[in-house]
Amino acid sequence: MVERFDAVDVIRTKRDGGVLSDEQIDWVVDAYTRGVVADEQMSALAMAIFLNGMQRGEIVRWTNAMINSGERLDFTVLGATADKHSTGGVGDKITLPLVPLVAAFGVRVPQLSGRGLGHTGGTLDKMESIPGWRAALSNDEMMTILREVGGVICAAGAGLAPADKKLYALRDTTATVEAIPLIASSIMSKKIAEGTGALVLDVKTGAGAFMRDEERARELARTMVDLGTDAGLTTVALLTDMSVPLGLTVGNALEVRESVEVLAGGGPSDIIELTVALAREMLAAAGQPDADVEAALADGRAMDVWKRMVAAQGGDPDADLPVAAHTHTVTAEANGVLSDMDAMGIAVAAWRLGAGRARKEDPVDFAAGVELHAKPGDSVRAGDAVMTLHTSDEAKFPRAFEALEGALTWADPGTTVERRPIVIDRIA
């Protein structure tokens, strides 16, 4: 087979600040997937894109080329469908209560999720702390569960945008993860190929977010909304705060336990607020703008769907979740007000306790993590519990303590701390 282009010429075009043609983009994505373009060549191109960016037309074409590298699904044959994607954050367990909440209104929710790497926990890791639950489903199994239960949380199949899977691994090792055109096309190629009817994006910014700078997070949100719109997919993004952890737990089984509390009508106010906000957006995009989502949490409808979802994938929704063999409680040294909490420090501590992984092959300790007893704005007295560390290996405590140095900021008793709103902006 005679190749239409030479990788060096494509790299040179973007290196010199040029615009890649549709034909160049189609060829280089396909050739890389086939192994004709070598990793070192795609690394050079990714760095050129990182440094020089892409025009909107280039990003659209790149995304389409990634979609065309694999299969396309179509869940809309089941009726109204909606999906959500989060860019990841500390304590972000929103998917767990959100999927059954939206499905309780008859909207199908095909939530294709991933595992954690680094400081952000993966939805599949959380779900796999439930005894018996399995993430790997065939397309037929997904369709059956969606039809009969209404919601599914599972791993994306290998046939969905395989070019992205290969390029994602490369970006992770070449310092090009933060390139907005590549982030946006990575996320949206999978979501468009998935074939849902509407998509709501939760783009996080702040100390514990992948995209810390608010303006860059806003640019990413706008780019993804444009990609979805250009593809005919109803797409909305919420820009949300990730300065402090979401909820009161960071860690797999701990977060499942907290999610079940929300489905039972309780749970932390920030988790409820964001779950409700995203559910409203998903239901409005699916044609139900007046759905009373709070009622579905309060009356048990969402909990019913959750239990059926878990059981449909082999899990026992009533089984005991893993509990850590070792705990250590951090207490306040003096009376005061917790004025700030570094989400990244908490995340790294949980990761070092065993809740996360450094490499995709690493196992996780489902019971490990950090449980918070106070959040910014709360008053505490000397000796009060501030957080509890959980792990199955007590030798991991010292490095977790190192991550927590400077993670908490204190103010004098009586100090008023203004909390940033969870939802910063809506982009549509």
* Among 86, 186, 243, 259, the one annotated catalytic: 186
Is the separation of the CB atoms in 360 and 427 below 8 Å?
A: no
Is the separation of the CB atoms in 156 and 338 below 8 Å?
A: no
Structure tokens at 300: 């048990």
Active-site residue, 171 included:
yes
Active-site residue, 21 included:
no
3-class secondary structure, 69: coil
Helix axes of 95-103 and 269-285: crossing angle, nearest 10 degrees: 40
* Among 85, 126, 307, 375, the one annotated catalytic: 85
DSSP state of 85: E
**Partners of 109 in the beta sheet?**
151
Active-site residue, 190 included:
yes
Active-site residue, 186 included:
yes
Active-site residue, 74 included:
no
Is the separation of the CB atoms in 229 and 235 below 8 Å?
A: yes
Half-sphere exposure of 340 (CA within 13 A, CB side): 10
Place of tokens 């926990």: 121
* Among 171, 280, 307, 390, the one annotated catalytic: 171
Place of tokens 């954050």: 89
Phi, psi of 240 (to 5 degrees): -125, 155
* Among 84, 115, 190, 357, the one annotated catalytic: 190
Cβ-based neighbours of 66, under 8 Å, separated by 6 or more: 29, 161, 163, 164, 167, 185, 186, 189
CA distances from 189 to 72, 194, 227, 426 (A): 10, 8, 9, 22
First-to-final CA distance of the chain:
44
d(CA 48, CA 40) in angstroms, rounded, equals 12
> Annotated catalytic sites, by residue?
85, 164, 171, 186, 190
